[in-house]
């Protein structure tokens, strides 16, 4: 590629047509020049006001870059990218093929509040982000595009001829002059520089006006876990049954313990009742006396009122429990009358 200060020979030759190209400060324009007699001669792009030209040698499908201009000759189309426009870039230009054909281009660089940039959009991996751009009223009926910058080139991501393409979906709200692109399940390689743009087509010259630059920054989530939303919801919901089961199990254990304790108490009481019923009246009396004796020990001893149980075993009183065990005794008050049956 060469920059020629005076390129008179090529400007005189061939037929000439004129086409308006609209750009915005900080934006880009991608211009396509074509002709029915498109041939193999060298191609050029010149500024008519400064008589400066960019000359492209015949190297098909290869980009040549000079300053803010990039040229490529491919598929019988001369593609010119003019980057990072300023108000001073406005003026008349000419694109064409040496000695064969040429087209005049009137580049307009308009200031508009809708097309200010650049701006930044942040997103986390796996989430959904939205890139929105306002557009000028004059582009309301045009197709809208989202393009991603790839080095010196721009790749179309999605446009309004479709509503969805893979993880990308686009909508055009003409009432508010805003186009929005949603990117779902954001990935690391989605990060980069995007431009919203419109397409204007003509018979000899067509162009994209890329007017708003958006830097998409994709980072890992700052949350404690990087589980996607749906899976996280599943995990949270899965905790609830476990908690319910734990509570139910605890209640069942408590009930079983209460039932077991009650049964044990009932069994002991019933067992004691049967033991008391099996005892003889004499045994119960002695037990009662022993209990009474135990409680009497806590009081001052009165020797004159001692129970006969504790009196001298040699006493001759008839009320003594420990009287003679002689079977022939006839004592009427003896507890043990006889240990053998009557001889009747």
Three-state DSSP class for residue 120 = strand
Which is more confidently placed, 12 or 137? 137
Among candidate residues 164, 166, 167, 170, the one with its CA nearest the CA of residue 184: 167
Greater confidence (21 vs 274) lies with: 21
Place of tokens 């429990």: 321
Confidence (pTM):
0.61
Fold identical between 1-110 and 112-223? yes
- Taking only the tens place, the pLDDT of each residue in 180-221 is 999 999 999 999 999 999 999 999 999 999 999 999 999 997
Report whether pLDDT(281) > 90: no
Query: Greater confidence, 50 or 85?
Result: 85
pLDDT band at 278 (very low <50, low <70, confident <90, very high): low
Residue 233 has pLDDT above 60, yes or no: no
At the top level of CATH, the class of 1-110 is mainly beta
- 198 near 179, Cβ under 8 Å? no
pLDDT above 60 for 272: yes
Question: What are 8-37's pLDDT values in tens digits?
Answer: 434 444 555 689 999 999 999 999 999 999
CA distance 223 to 174: 37
Sheet holding 2-4, edge to edge: 2-4, 52-56, 43-47, 91-97, 101-109, 18-23
Q: Which residue has the tokens 């809208």?
A: 144
Beta carbons within 10 angstroms of residue 300's beta carbon: 5
Contacts of 149 (CB under 8 A, 6+ apart): 192, 193, 194, 195
pLDDT tens-digit map of 41-76: 889 999 988 888 988 876 778 888 889 999 999 888
157 band by pLDDT with thresholds 50, 70 and 90: very high
Distance CA 28, CA 198 (A): 11
Across 56-87, b (16+ Cβ under 10 Å) vs e yields beeeeeebbeeeebbbbbeeeebbbbbbebee
State the DSSP string of 138-160.
GGTTS-EEEEEEETTEEEEEEET
Q: Are 61 and 74 in contact (CB under 8 A)?
A: yes
What lies within 8 Å, CB to CB, of 274 at 6+ separation is none
93 has a pLDDT exceeding 90 = yes
**Within 13 Å of residue 66, how many CA atoms lie on the same side as its CB?**
16
Average of per-residue pLDDT values in the chain: 76
**Greater model confidence, 56 or 288:** 56
CB-CB contact of 117 with 212 (8 Å): yes
Q: Is the distance from CB of 21 to CB of 109 less than 8 angstroms?
A: no
- What residues does each domain of the chain span? 1-110, 112-223
- Complete DSSP assignment for 206-263: EEEEEEEEEEEEEE---SS----HHHHHHHHHHHHHHHHHHHHHHHHHHHHHHHHHHH
The least confident of 162-166, 213-217, 271-275, 287-291 is: 287-291
Confidence of residue 343 (pLDDT cuts 50, 70, 90): very low
Total residues belonging to the chain: 344
Its CATH architecture, for the domain 112-223, is Sandwich (2.60)
């Amino acid at each position: 590629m060469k920059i020629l200060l005076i390129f008179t020979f090529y400007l005189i030759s061939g037929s000439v047509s004129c086409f308006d190209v609209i750009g915005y400060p900080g934006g880009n324009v991608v211009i396509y020049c074509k002709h029915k007699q498109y041939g193999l001669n060298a191609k050029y792009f010149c500024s008519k006001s400064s008589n400066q030209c960019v000359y492209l040698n015949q190297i098909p499908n290869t980009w040549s870059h000079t300053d803010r201009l990039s040229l490529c000759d491919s598929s019988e189309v001369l593609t010119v990218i003019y980057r990072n426009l300023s108000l001073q870039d406005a003026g008349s230009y000419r694109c064409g093929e040496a000695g064969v054909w040429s087209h005049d281009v009137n580049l307009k660089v308009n200031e508009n509040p809708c097309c200010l940039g650049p701006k930044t959009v942040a997103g986390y991996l796996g989430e959904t982000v939205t890139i929105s751009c306002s557009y000028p009223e004059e582009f309301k009926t045009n197709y809208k595009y989202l393009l991603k910058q790839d080095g010196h080139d721009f790749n179309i991501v999605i446009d309004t001829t479709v509503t969805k393409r893979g993880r990308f979906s686009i909508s055009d709200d003409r009432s508010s002059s805003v186009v929005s692109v949603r990117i779902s399940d954001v990935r690391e390689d989605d990060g980069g520089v995007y431009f919203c743009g419109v397409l204007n087509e003509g018979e000899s010259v067509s162009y994209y006006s890329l007017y708003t630059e958006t830097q998409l920054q994709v980072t890992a989530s700052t949350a404690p876990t990087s589980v996607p939303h749906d899976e996280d919801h599943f995990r949270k919901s899965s905790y609830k049954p476990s908690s319910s089961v734990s509570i139910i199990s605890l209640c069942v254990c408590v009930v079983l313990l209460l039932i077991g304790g009650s049964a044990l108490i009932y069994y002991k009481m019933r067992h004691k009742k049967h033991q008391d019923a099996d005892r003889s009246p004499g045994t119960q009396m002695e037990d009662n006396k022993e209990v009474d004796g135990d409680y009497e020990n806590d009081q001052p001893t009165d020797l004159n009122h001692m129970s006969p149980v504790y009196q001298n075993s040699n006493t001759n009183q008839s009320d003594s429990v420990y009287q003679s065990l002689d079977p022939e005794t006839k004592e009427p008050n003896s507890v043990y009358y006889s240990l053998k049956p009557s001889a009747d």
